[in-house]
Amino acid sequence: MGLPIPAVGSEPGPNYATDVNNSLTIVDGHTHLPGSGVQITPGAININSSLTFNSNSATLLASLTFVPTSQTSLNTVYESSAGDLHYINAAGLDIQITNSSGVAVTPTSIPGLVPPASAQYVPLSSTFIWQSNTNIAANMDFGAAIMRNLSPNSTYALTLQPPAALSSNFTITLPSIPGSTSFLTLDTSGNISGSIATSLGITAANIANATITGGKIASATITGSNIASSTITGSNIASATITGSNIASTTVAPSNLTVINSGTAVLSGSFSTASTSLVFVSPLAVTLSSVVPNRPVYICFQGGVAYCTNSAGLAENAVFTIRAYNGSSYTNLVSFSLIVFPSGTASILMGGLNCVDLSGGAAGTQYSLWVNTNSVQVGINFSGTIVMQVFQ
């Protein structure tokens, strides 16, 4: 700085004082610019309040290091407490510059996307993030969602597609993860629930009437404890599906059986054969209007005695036969013989004529009593009232 330094002990008083005064004048006017004092280093500076540049630029900065803070001053760049860079413009709008690990870009191709709403791509997680506000997710309105795996490749896709025909807006709400493996249900408000555990099984309320067929049930898996009392009716059982091996001994009592078809015919008085051919004893005949397929039909007689007389004086047999007629042919079910002696009369108690049609007749089958006179015209007489009953 060119300070005149007096020589101590040798310089006379007036000159000594003059040098001191001149040096103090130079020191008082120094600026620490080159040639005007030693330049000030950062270690000599203690900034303890805001530093103004008086509208001048800070130039030749290698970098800026921020500390998280909150700001409201206009035209200010700062780092938020979340670690993102912000700028408050002259209108007081706080504009977020970064978002987590990327730049909070607002593409001009998305109308209406203005801060604090944002859209960004995060390379570390290969994820696009859409927000309606700071740390608040945004809704998306688009067509089908086409989803692919990130790894190992994206060759194939899963498409989440709304119904083809929508007549109104509705919402499907996904459930929380249930505490155990459960059935999913969907209510009329669109809420999916997993509240019914699969361990509880399927109840009757979940099954529509007549929807479970034999093919859906594993062999020998339904036991008596699985069936409520008096809940199975004939309409619940497919034709010819229950055999004797499916029924436990002594488990079907008469109280469990219902006669669904029955018929009765009554005959009294006498009848004489009109010829020596096979003769039908009328009106002992019953026709079933409807039957259960493959269920046996029972034919029995009650009361009365039948007897015949050999008017020709020859030993002949009169044979009573219970027959089934299906509309085109007859089937002999059982026969009972009356042995008629030359000078006598033979009789049979009609209550002993009983049989079972194991094949089970179809609707319209007629069960009746016939008599075979063995080519001899005989008289058939009935004593008392004979009742013929046919039931299933």
Question: Domain with 272 in it: what CATH number?
Answer: 2.60.120.760
Lowest mean pLDDT, pick from 18-32, 43-57, 126-140, 178-192? 18-32
Q: For residues 5 and 85, state if they share a domain.
A: no
Q: For residues 112 and 1, state if they share a domain.
A: no
* CA 350 to each of CA 145, 238, 246, 268: distance values in angstroms, whole numbers, following the listed order: 84, 37, 36, 12
Tell which phi-psi region holds residue 26, choosing left (phi > 0), alpha (psi between -120 and 50) or beta. Answer: alpha
pLDDT band at residue 13 under the 50/70/90 scheme: confident
- 170 within domain boundaries: no
The whole-angstrom separation of Cα 320 and Cα 354 is 12
Q: Which of 84, 110, 137 is the last residue of a domain?
A: 137
Residue indicated by tokens 């004979």: 386
* Domain range for 283: 262-391
- 2 within domain boundaries: yes
Q: For residues 112 and 20, state if they share a domain.
A: no
Report the domain count for the chain.
Answer: 3
Percent of the chain with pLDDT over 90: 17
Residues 6+ apart with CB under 8 A from 266: 385, 386, 387, 388
Lowest mean pLDDT, pick from 14-23, 144-153, 248-257, 285-294? 248-257
Q: Which of 109, 137, 165 is the last residue of a domain?
A: 137
- 341 within domain boundaries: yes
- 160 within domain boundaries: no
pLDDT at 177: 92
- 167 within domain boundaries: no
Average pLDDT taken over every residue of the chain: 79
CB atoms within 10 A of CB 119: 16
- 311 within domain boundaries: yes
Q: For residues 293 and 368, state if they share a domain.
A: yes
The pTM score is 0.39
Q: For residues 273 and 359, state if they share a domain.
A: yes
Q: For residues 273 and 386, state if they share a domain.
A: yes
Q: For residues 85 and 17, state if they share a domain.
A: no
Average pLDDT over residues 324-342: 75
- 269 within domain boundaries: yes
Q: Which of 88, 104, 137 is the last residue of a domain?
A: 137
Q: For residues 10 and 131, state if they share a domain.
A: no
Give yes or no for a contact between 353 and 371, defined as CB atoms under 8 angstroms apart.
no
Q: For residues 269 and 333, state if they share a domain.
A: yes
Q: For residues 301 and 380, state if they share a domain.
A: yes
Q: For residues 343 and 268, state if they share a domain.
A: yes
- 115 within domain boundaries: yes
Q: For residues 3 and 84, state if they share a domain.
A: no
pLDDT at 312: 47
